[in-house]
Structure 1
């Protein structure tokens, strides 16, 4: 059984290459506030962008990350703000309202959306890739990250130029990651496990959150993303046999906390796997730390597809093809 999700996953290297060939970003001001806004996968991309700005500017640029629901209805906006709204379809009401509200406040507005989205009420629009065929979004995430990387690089001088040069290697790194065997054996072990914990340190924690959303959408199993240290503070009280877990292993010093979490989860009876660049159960190609979100998500996207294949869920429709989800989800106006 092949899903549209499978095709979208393998399309990512070429989609990123295509975007990098033609992308043009507006001139931003490093001295003015940045607000990144999105929902779901787009919100995760915004979190990565804010992380990039903070690191690349050595802490000088501290961006806000707001859910588009908040930004559309109540969050303060000033004429000095630079508001970047990420929305793949470009049709959801709160991202659109957030852009309109920001423009009315006199803020600079940028929309990051698909190439076939309707016109956005923004000063500038960056188009990423065609609309995804699968409800479990993948290529729209990595191309949105690519666009956000160019924005972050444009205001962070030499560090930004080096960062952008590392982004150029992402398509090849994803292709090398896709050369790994599909994680069908691990999927068989996790298909009956619930909930599934995903954890990562620093920027990898955002990947854990994004992977948890993919698993919920594509397999209908509950999953939750954690920062590694947070996963050690309190959550072990709820760990029990029958659960699953994936820990994203850092390539940098973490005080042995990731290994401690792995060992603790196993001792408490969870089915546990590692995800990393070396000696890991789920492998991805090694890249510089800040670039990892574009590559480390790929084996977790594939894991979602493999679990879905085994349990006959539909990651393309994300449960909207079966009652009562058809009716209930149809009544939720996004």
Structure 2
């Protein structure tokens, strides 16, 4: 969601305005509706605007700020108060002695706001964040120094937050994290902080991930991390392994198209060192100490939940009871969890608030926890007993594509590893997946399908078995980036209600591969909608007769049932992309959505 960038440079460093604006542009993918910066050289200068970053940039004259070396910036995704100039961050106290940016939600802000208002404080926004600079100012008035006032204000807050502050007359940025991501960048000519590494990867690849309750003090000369009691810590510095160009568009019109096309490379990286075709063994060293697996509970949200459904079915078919739960609905009072339980949090960012809450609840119950995530050093990676990285690389578009395929692949390896399953056929099929996806990328007719059905009344997606989560994911992609109504169903459920919705204006995308019972039953469901004049698009490998009853066919290479769901999903991603492109939608930044959902 919201994005934070902060910078303190040396005399040799870049100008703060350049770093801040570049950082905010790299954080646009998170989703936002306003943006702002605060520069703190020779007084605090705040500039903020509703709308896209370009609206803020149009009000700035970079030459005016040449030589300024300290500042903070923010992209806001509205929670308290609608998008407006006044509600945009940064926020200051009445005398503009301190400026603050904040991600997360301050749960007790209303009682603090009432208290401050009774003391005569006049608020200029509807946000929960504005209480923070006024709290700090109050402690400054009591005689506390900048750091002490910052800490005292933080002590008053309840909820989730990543907060950064600058003060008039200092070359220091103060920051703190609690249940909202914050990472520090260690540079040669300055230091950085941000919600996510892409904000400053152009300047440094050395990072420190803050833990909950940790504070940071950034100056031109040093970067100091302390605990809640002020004791100095020695955090580990990690080196980010990907190049800044990895987060660029590389000539594509949209990040989403680039990331769809990156799936073969992402999957090869996911499989690297984990597949042994000679022995038929799938070796995942990260899980060696997991111990016996009796039952598995997956918790996830959105696209990751669809991957979790896929993973749960894999385990059930291998004799291990497994269930996928929406993390926002998960609770120990609903799902029995104890020390014998294994809970797997599936989260691309490793920071998803609902999933992190579920993981923490599982930890408190004594369960063994596993993170399946893309981001090294993320909260999920640090707070679980085991972590399995999907290795998909940076994903910038809000709509997840390559990370879903990599989650499916990683979950396939997870299921094989925990059951000690040996299968040369499975390993061979997984190794072939990247090439099979490439063949789809090279030959897909999805663009023509999108042109044919652009402007339909609704879009329905159906599948059975492993293709049921793929149908749900296909519908999610369509609704996310086209703003058109789309729904996914288990194919057999059409006749139990949804069939009332089909018409000549509601194309049905049916995923059916192989020639077994599930494909045959799906053909029956296709006939049900065909009889009602509904156009059908079959996603199929041609091994069944489903194509005979379809108006259009999206072909996929023949492979195993498990691998076919990874492959088939790519066709549905392309249909959603080209439909959104035809409709002129802002594909990478769909309205109201955020890449990393860090509030519950």
Is the pair's TM-score, using the shorter chain for normalization, greater than 0.5?
Answer: yes
Q: 2:300 maps to which residue?
A: 38
Unaligned runs of 5+ in 1: none
Write the distance in 2 (CA, Å) between the matches of 1:220 and 1:135: 14
Higher RCO by CA contacts (8 Å cutoff, separation 6 or greater): 1
Q: Which has the higher strand share?
A: 2
Deviation, 1:100, is 1.4
> Does 43-52 or 251-260 show the bigger shift?
251-260
Q: Distance in 1 between matches of 2:516 and 2:506?
A: 28
* 1:120-135 paired onto structure 2 within 5 Å: 120=380, 121-128=383-390, 129-135=392-398
Other structure's SS at 1:66 match: strand
CA contact (8 A) 2:473 2:488 kept: yes
Separation of aligned partners in 2, 1:302 and 1:5: 10
Which deviates further from its counterpart, 210-219 or 18-27?
Answer: 18-27
How is 1:280-291 mapped onto 2 (pairs within 5 angstroms)? Answer: 281-291=553-563
Tell me if structure 2 keeps the 8 A contact 1:13–1:171: yes
Q: State whether residues 351 and 597 of structure 2, in contact with CA within 8 Å, keep that contact through their aligned partners in structure 1.
A: no
Q: Match of 2:287, SS?
A: coil
TM-score normalized with structure 2 length: 0.51
**Which of residues 252, 257, 280 is equivalent to 2:521?**
257
Query: Which residue in 1 is equivalent to 2:156?
Result: none
Report the CA distance between 1:164 and its aligned residue. 3.6
CA distance in 1, matches of 2:462, 2:324: 21
Residue pair 1:250, 1:276 contacting (<8 A) in 2 also: yes
Alignment correspondent of 1:88:
348
C-alpha contact 2:297 2:322 (8 A) present in aligned 1: yes
Aligned residues: 325
> Is the counterpart of residue 296 in structure 1 residue 568 in structure 2?
yes
Larger Rg: 2
Distance 1:203 1:263 in 2: 21
Residue 46 to residue 248, structure 1, CA distance change in 2 (3 Å): same
2:582 — aligned with what? Answer: 310
**Aligned-residue RMSD, C-alpha:** 2.5
Question: Displacement of 1:331 after TM fit?
Answer: 11
Larger CA deviation: 231-240 vs 251-260: 251-260
Verify the 8 A CA contact 2:444 2:571 in the aligned structure 1: no
How many angstroms apart in 2 are the aligned matches of 1:5 and 1:211? 14
**Do 1:313 and 1:319's aligned partners in 2 also have CA atoms closer than 8 Å?**
no
Render the CA deviation track for 1:162-200: whole Å, top value 9, x for unaligned: 434422221111112212134122101221112211111
CA contact (8 A) 1:116 1:131 kept: no
More helix per residue: 1
Tell me by how many angstroms 1:101 deviates.
Answer: 1.4
**1:269 is aligned to 2:533:** yes
Q: Does 1:109 align with 2:375?
A: no
Counterpart residue number, 2:462: 199
What SS does the corresponding residue of 1:225 show, helix, strand or coil? strand
Change (3 A) 1:71 1:237: closer
* Equivalent-residue separation in structure 2 for 1:294 and 1:143 (angstroms): 9
